[in-house]
Structure 1
Amino acid sequence: MTQEKLLVIGDHFISPRLMRASLGALVNRFEIVEASTPFPIEPFRNIAEVREASGSEEQMIDALQGVSICIAHHAPLTQRVMERAKGLKLFIVCRGGPVNVNIHAATEYGIAIAYTPARNAAATAEHTIALLLSALRFIPQTDAAIRRGQWKGDYTWDTAGFELETATVGLIGYGAIGNIVARILNGFGATVLCYDPYAQIGDGDPVVQVNHLDELLERSNVVSLHARETAETRNILGAAQIAKLRPGAVVVNCARGTLMDYDAVEQALRSGHLFAAAADVFPEEPLPSGSPLLQLPNFIMTPHIAGGTKQAAIKATRIAAEELQSYLQNGTLRYCANPEVLAHRNIIK
């Protein structure tokens, strides 16, 4: 009996070897085909109609010939690819959200799309705290100064940061990442508020939920973004919202670049209304070389690396393997972007 083909297409972070190893005994069920894209040696980019992708449509078209199931990371699944991947039934993305997939087209073609939420929750939460502390204490700038031969220990009352122990931190969005950030901040002694109309806050949660965004902004010394990107969250932290923050506040964004108005942040940093800001994500990536943000000493940047830990890669492939197992056993997926497909698709037997 001919085995079904399964493509594992990884990269320099989540390798095909790691994907394959996570499958355990399932490897005996398939003929495994391996491929790789250049991420993150080459940054991800928009490919055709999908975002944050790596490789090419041509590579995917070739690799998917005769393939029934694919486990991928940043590889693009565009309409053009799907038109030529006639046998594809299931595409599992080792990411918190399948933005490198055309979900609408996948639904039209009857391809179920699974993903791996919370795989990098701890990594992103820890990076959020790292950026926050760096912004509060100017760690990157003073490190760079020492390397230039300057001993810049000349902090004044106006230039000194503040402690988290007595701060109020507001989280916009409260999912898996926000929960971990809140628990870490509790350890510092901070008071943590959250604004998320969809969150169900229980007695054991380390946050105080507020019903209005304005209340969170007016009470917070720090605001950290953790919302999903939707029509209602785009620019949720804009000029009007930043103006409501306490003078000398700090903002951090390790979620999505579209959640924050970076022009408004720049103006607030220049005026002194914001003490500092930090971000791992931007509306345009890579950040353009002429961006005025590069000239601001109180703006801390990292290049979309918050989720980049070994544990995040391992978790992603393990969740992907669990999804595949569930699909094969009973035709279900725990994390499916288009569950309507499962009701109409013939499951591999």
Structure 2
Amino acid sequence: MTVRVLAAGDHFVLNRLLIDAIRAEAPSADLAFTELTLPWPVEPFGRVAEVDEASGTEDQLIEALQGAEICVTQMAPLTRRILKASPDLRLFGVSRGGPINANLEVAAEHGVAVCNAPGRNAGATAEHTLGMIMAAARRIPQTHTDLHTGQWRSDYYRYEAVGPELDGSTVGLVGCGAVGRRVARMLSALGAHVLVYDPYTDLGDLAESVTLEELLTRAQIVTLHARVTPETTGMIGAPQIAAMPPGAIIVNCARGALLDYDAVCDALDSGHLFGAAFDVFPEEPIPPSSRLLSTPNITLTPHLAGASKQTAANAARIIAQEVGRYLRGEPLAHSANGLEKPFVRN
């Protein structure tokens, strides 16, 4: 029996990557593919009905999903309206770590399993984090800009203007999941002493587990890797930043909700912090009036930490493996809405 699959890729996780990965995972399956290319990241994602960080419209998905049993995507919305109009859909594969573009509860009510791709961008994000640490510590963006404007700033060599080396520095990781573990290994290899605050993780000899309070008072560089939960939202605010050593650096390539950015700007303006580097923000894109754009010694990138060719390939591979499990009647490995076991297929 032919199974219809909608590949709703975009300009990062391409349809050809999704289709090739599924064919490699299920070479003997009788599959009929249709394609829809969503506009992200050429056009920003946004809210679609009741889901967030989605690309495309409900009408587009409703039309493309007619007769489809499986949909693989990164950014396509899965809303109450789409689910009601797509009775053949049984598996919705979201090739990203957090499937917030899907209404998980309503999908479960309709018998549609939603799966995701945890860890797809762990390597890319870890490398970007390391680059951001170095950029902040060595003033790379500022000196690059100065040269482009005709300034040869040898005064950056003043003792009070130079930052620390990683070799011999103490670096604190707040949260240590798939990304944090990689960052810890990289830092250890460069000679840093790594502290970790994560109640759910023990890295053994790789890092020293400490309380958050101890990490903040000891680390010259603090980098955030926690998930956003009610407990972690706003976990680093003005009191925590004040507890950091003078001349410290803070980096966030995780989620903007973890950190009070105004408190960081205050600490940079006062000279308490040496530098900061951010890939994520409380509001994206950053508003033109944001202090982040005028406060000195901040390195900024536009939520690109996970952007690598390997991330796109990993995303397609992980979701293709879930499609293979579904086709073989096996439990899903990365169910996002509780439907892990095989279910009746049309």
Q: Give the TM-score range, shorter chain.
A: over 0.9
In terms of mean alpha carbon deviation, does 22-31 or 186-195 score higher? Answer: 22-31
In 1, Cα distance between the equivalents of 2:305 and 2:65?
Answer: 30
Shift of 1:196: 0.8
Shift of 1:18: 1.0
In 2, Cα distance between the equivalents of 1:281 and 1:296?
Answer: 16
In terms of mean alpha carbon deviation, does 309-318 or 192-201 score higher? Answer: 192-201
After superposition, residues 297-316 of structure 1 pair within 5 angstroms as 297-316=296-315
- What is the aligned partner in structure 2 of residue 19 from structure 1? 18
Task: Confirm or deny: 8 A CA contact 2:333 2:340 kept in the other structure.
Answer: no
In 2, Cα distance between the equivalents of 1:29 and 1:279?
Answer: 46
Deviations 1:15-56 (A, max 9, x none): 111110111253642211111111111122222222221122
Shift of 1:62: 1.4
In terms of mean alpha carbon deviation, does 107-116 or 126-135 score higher? Answer: 107-116
Unaligned regions of 5+ residues in structure 2, if any? none
In 2, Cα distance between the equivalents of 1:58 and 1:267?
Answer: 46
- What is the aligned partner in structure 2 of residue 171 from structure 1? 173
SS where residue 299 of structure 2 aligns?
strand
Shift of 1:320: 0.8
Identity %: 50
Shift of 1:348: 3.0
After superposition, residues 16-95 of structure 1 pair within 5 angstroms as 16-24=15-23, 26=26, 28-95=29-96
In 2, Cα distance between the equivalents of 1:289 and 1:99?
Answer: 26
In 1, Cα distance between the equivalents of 2:284 and 2:184?
Answer: 28
Task: Confirm or deny: 8 A CA contact 1:327 1:347 kept in the other structure.
Answer: no
Which consecutive aligned stretches of 4+ in structure 1 deviate over 4 angstroms post-superposition? none
Match for residue 343 of structure 2 among 330, 343, 346: 346
SS where residue 336 of structure 2 aligns?
coil
In 2, Cα distance between the equivalents of 1:94 and 1:30?
Answer: 19
In terms of mean alpha carbon deviation, does 103-112 or 299-308 score higher? Answer: 103-112
Task: Confirm or deny: 8 A CA contact 2:216 2:243 kept in the other structure.
Answer: yes
Task: Confirm or deny: 8 A CA contact 1:328 1:347 kept in the other structure.
Answer: no
After superposition, residues 1-349 of structure 1 pair within 5 angstroms as 1=1, 3-24=2-23, 26=26, 28-155=29-156, 156-203=158-205, 206-210=206-210, 212-339=211-338, 341-343=339-341, 346-348=343-345
CA RMSD of superposed structures (Å): 1.5
Residue type at the aligned position of 1:17 = R
Deviations 1:152-188 (A, max 9, x none): 1212222111111121111011111101101111121
CA 1:260–1:144 in structure 2 vs 1: closer, same or farther (change >3 Å)? same
In 2, Cα distance between the equivalents of 1:158 and 1:23?
Answer: 55
Shift of 1:80: 2.2
In 2, Cα distance between the equivalents of 1:330 and 1:209?
Answer: 41
Instruction: Select the structure with the greater relative contact order (CA < 8 A; seq sep ≥ 6).
Output: 2
Residue type at the aligned position of 1:172 = V
Residue type at the aligned position of 2:308 = T
SS where residue 154 of structure 1 aligns?
helix
Shift of 1:241: 1.2
Deviations 1:190-222 (A, max 9, x none): 00011111114344xx21111x21111111111
In 2, Cα distance between the equivalents of 1:196 and 1:290?
Answer: 34
Shift of 1:74: 1.1
Shift of 1:144: 1.2
Deviations 1:130-164 (A, max 9, x none): 11111111111111111111111212222111111
Unaligned regions of 5+ residues in structure 1, if any? none
In 2, Cα distance between the equivalents of 1:133 and 1:201?
Answer: 23
Task: Confirm or deny: 8 A CA contact 1:18 1:314 kept in the other structure.
Answer: yes
The aligned length equals 343
SS where residue 86 of structure 1 aligns?
coil
In 2, Cα distance between the equivalents of 1:7 and 1:44?
Answer: 20
